[in-house]
Chain A
Amino acid sequence: MFNNVIVAQQIEDIPFENIRSVKGEMIISEDFPSYLIDESKISGGHAEYLFFPNTEEEIISLIKKMKEEELMITISAARTGIVGSAVPFGGAVLSLERMDGVIGLGYDEEVKKWFLRVQPAISLAEINHIVKLKKLEPDQSIPQEGNWVEKFEKEHTHYYPVDPTEMTASIGGTIGANASGARSFKYGSTREWIRRIRVIIGAGEVLVIPRGKYKAKDGKFIVKTSKADYELKLPTYKMPGAKNAAGLYTKKDMDLIDLFIGSEGVFGVISEADVWLKDHTPQMSNVAFFKNENDALDFVTKLRASEKIKPEFIEFFEDHALTLLRNKQKEDPKFVDMPIIAEDITTAISFDLPYSEETLNEYFSEISIMLEECNSSLSNTWSAYEDREVARIKHFRHAVPEIVNNIIAERKKEYPEIHKLGTDMSVEDKYLKEIMKFYYDTLKEVGLEYVMWGHIGDNHVHVNILPRDINDLELGKQIYKKFAKKAVQFGGSVSAEHGIGKIKHEYLQIMYGEEGVLQMREIKFSLDPECVFNCGNIFGRGAKS
């Protein structure tokens, strides 16, 4: 029987003094500045405490202490997020970096899948490293008597398929953000890959939430702790059909675990997670080139519609992105290994396919037909399956964002206020061409500099506006809002993968309206009335109002 009532576990705390901590705003800002910023590069972060707990007991103890002192807690791990979720504005930073180990490995016989139990700060790269090399000890089997570690030895290579590009991201952070990335086209976002989590809530107790055990009833969950019961009323807005990471997840009979995944840490600290593993199939990386973007978009539509071919991802690079790469190839030592991109190409579509000699002929023949219908051909592609070659193509895919960041860094020297305006919007499949046209028309009309690339398989293209001065920045912000409204109109999301954090509140309003945001606040404050955790993420800071 499904249940909408969850009972929290009580755990003994330990003396607060035993926790490794740093106190004092000055010391933290001088000696630990990296804890006050993340990849959003938003400034102004400050904190009075910095904690490095080793265990759940220590976390509970410090939560109690912070509540006594009426200080809020910002949860921090790898700080690779780009919407400022880990940037503290006062209170304490709870750095999970010491909780970065693997607890064990098990096999879920019900669904016939392997899973890895990890601590929150372990990086995705480390998870994959350990799983690939099977660096596990026999006593790490879950449960012990299953002897799963020994059995896993004989298995094919496995991996954790969520790939948000930045593999130094922590598992805890990616659960909080419901991270996705290119490969979510085939495998879905983090949500699909989490089996079970442990969450420490503001009451100082632990919720153990496996998927499939707690389901909402009458739009509600009840959390029982030793001191009080909390009623969580789910928001009633309808989430878009397109890829989405904006705001809280809500659905009529939803699983409790989904409320926490993607909640940007507003409900508590994830202290442990089980992630599903997938067996690794060799991949081949392909890039198809087009002289005309419209042809490229047609190709995407065809590829997506194929019954047979299921690419890992479909990625898009527009003319400006390719020009940046071509220029770099001429002058930057980092690009000497990247094959030359022909001058008459305006668009590139990158897609990985499972590699097998058996299916290669069949797949390529089908793709050949698609390409020719779209005025390109198999000769106009790159294809790689050997490790080193695959790395060359990966470099091609990952280089553009880096170049753009460098351009902005250069411009910041003259105008320190300038920052990149990168959209993160998705739409429904049928609106792909329309939204692209809207982007181009709007940008051309105002004459802003831009570069586009992204996850076109999910109709999720990042439009990056590169302001040349303050006027451009202001103009860009207005355009951004226009794009957000249009994306919502096209059944999409204002933030398909980056989340809302501390910098995208107004777009969330566009998507769900004032009422929707208010409902999110309500459920947050039902479980965390003192606003202990990650205040300022998703919705405005400050107390309940």
Chain B
Amino acid sequence: MKIVILVKQVPEADKVAVDPETGTLIREGVASILNPYCEYALDQAAKLKKDNPELKIEVTAISMGPPQAKIALLRCLELGADKAYLLSDRKFAGSDVWATSTAIKEGIVGLEPNFDLILAGKQAIDGDTAQVPAETAEQLGVPQITYGVDVAINDKRVEVKRETETGYQIISTKMPALVTMSKGSNIRRVPSMQDVLEARKRPLKVVSADDLNIEESKVGLSASPTQVDKIFAPPSKSGGQIIDGSDPKAAARKLFDYLRENKFLRA
């Protein structure tokens, strides 16, 4: 059985900040990490592999990004992927959701056409759009189940515990299919030195648009229906009122008055 995991390298969110004076983005010193949701997908793949030895599951990680995104794929190899591909090309630059999913679709079709299951994170923490996996599934013509928290393989079908607003659903569909993960099994793994060493022996290939025979007009900015018009700093919040709570009684009274004044408490 073949599982493809879609991953993305993202800037670590707590490090991206806005310069209070200029209102511009401070990028210096921001680390790049494997998107946490992608890690859930990776964990899930590793779990399926462990739980179903008879299926001989092979895990392929695919990412699109600049050359330095190789690091994120190395992490995938350390945490259980058998091989990895990085779709990296200047021609992909400026891709929005549609163009990105086009490139990823072409990547999957070209590199792992006989996949059974695609696992992806529900969203990436930099854009938070949660759209690329679903659009990729649509372009590949396979069913999707989003917001998965647990996945089981049952013969030719995949069974997913899916989060809903009021609880959970168990949904099943025939493979091939795409599942996005909104929560992992919470394994909290750190790779061992052995994992790190072995990951470097596994194949990690950088693939260009030409390698995949992708026409330039189908990807990148020119193929993107949405375009960023401008970027600006969010309206800054005027400083709130911070009081000392060392006298709990007085602080509680002030809180009460504040909430009542602002009509949060029924008078």
The answer on direct contact between A and B (beta carbons under 8 Å) is yes
Docked complex Cα distance between A386 and B36 (Å): 13
In the complex, how many angstroms separate the beta carbon of A354 from the nearest chain B beta carbon? 14
A392 at the interface (CB under 8 A from B): yes
Beyond known contacts A383-B191, A387-B31, A387-B33: 14 more, CB 8 A cutoff: A132-B29, A133-B28, A133-B29, A338-B188, A339-B190, A360-B200, A361-B197, A364-B193, A378-B193, A379-B194, A380-B192, A386-B71, A388-B12, A392-B190
Docked complex Cα distance between A393 and B75 (Å): 16
B33, B189, B196 — which one has the most chain A CB atoms within 10 A of its CB?
B196
- The chain B residue with its CB closest to the CB of A388 is B33
Contact B200 A357 (CB under 8 A): yes
Contact B193 A386 (CB under 8 A): no
In the complex, how many angstroms separate the beta carbon of B257 from the nearest chain A beta carbon? 27
A381 at the interface (CB under 8 A from B): yes
- The chain A residue with its CB closest to the CB of B75 is A386
Contact with A along B66-106 (1 / 0, CB 8 A): 00000100010000000000000000000000000000000
- The chain B residue with its CB closest to the CB of A379 is B194
- The chain A residue with its CB closest to the CB of B26 is A133
In the complex, how many angstroms separate the beta carbon of A522 from the nearest chain B beta carbon? 47
B195 at the interface (CB under 8 A from A): yes
A377 at the interface (CB under 8 A from B): yes
Docked complex Cα distance between A383 and B195 (Å): 8
Docked complex Cα distance between A387 and B36 (Å): 13
B34 at the interface (CB under 8 A from A): yes
Which A residues are in CB contact (< 8 Å) with B195? 383
Docked complex Cα distance between A392 and B189 (Å): 10
Which B residues are in CB contact (< 8 Å) with A382? 190-192
Docked complex Cα distance between A367 and B46 (Å): 27
Which B residues are in CB contact (< 8 Å) with A367? 193
- The chain A residue with its CB closest to the CB of B186 is A336
A55 at the interface (CB under 8 A from B): no
Contact A393 B193 (CB under 8 A): no
Contact A360 B28 (CB under 8 A): no
A108 at the interface (CB under 8 A from B): no
A interface: dominant SS: helix
Docked complex Cα distance between A384 and B78 (Å): 10
18 contacts between A and B (CB under 8 A): A132-B28, A133-B29, A286-B193, A360-B196, A360-B200, A364-B197, A378-B192, A378-B193, A378-B197, A379-B193, A379-B194, A381-B194, A382-B190, A382-B192, A383-B191, A389-B191, A392-B190, A393-B190
In the complex, how many angstroms separate the beta carbon of A366 from the nearest chain B beta carbon? 11
B interface: dominant SS: loop
A470 at the interface (CB under 8 A from B): no
A340 at the interface (CB under 8 A from B): yes
Which A residues are in CB contact (< 8 Å) with B196? 360, 364, 383
A337 at the interface (CB under 8 A from B): yes
In the complex, how many angstroms separate the beta carbon of B70 from the nearest chain A beta carbon? 10
Which residues in chain A, 380-411, are within 8 Å of chain B measured between CB atoms?
A: 380-384, 386-389, 392-393
Docked complex Cα distance between A132 and B200 (Å): 30
Known: A381-B193, A383-B195, A386-B71. A361 touches B188 (CB 8 A): no
Known: A361-B200, A383-B196. A336 touches B12 (CB 8 A): no
In the complex, how many angstroms separate the beta carbon of A47 from the nearest chain B beta carbon? 22
Which B residues are in CB contact (< 8 Å) with A383? 190-193, 195-196
Which B residues are in CB contact (< 8 Å) with A357? 200
Contact A384 B190 (CB under 8 A): yes
In the complex, how many angstroms separate the beta carbon of B34 from the nearest chain A beta carbon? 7
B12, B34, B71, B190 — which one has the most chain A CB atoms within 10 A of its CB?
B190
In the complex, how many angstroms separate the beta carbon of A164 from the nearest chain B beta carbon? 22
Which A residues are in CB contact (< 8 Å) with B34? 386
Docked complex Cα distance between A377 and B192 (Å): 10
- The chain A residue with its CB closest to the CB of B34 is A386
- The chain A residue with its CB closest to the CB of B36 is A388
Contact with A along B4-21 (1 / 0, CB 8 A): 000000001000000000
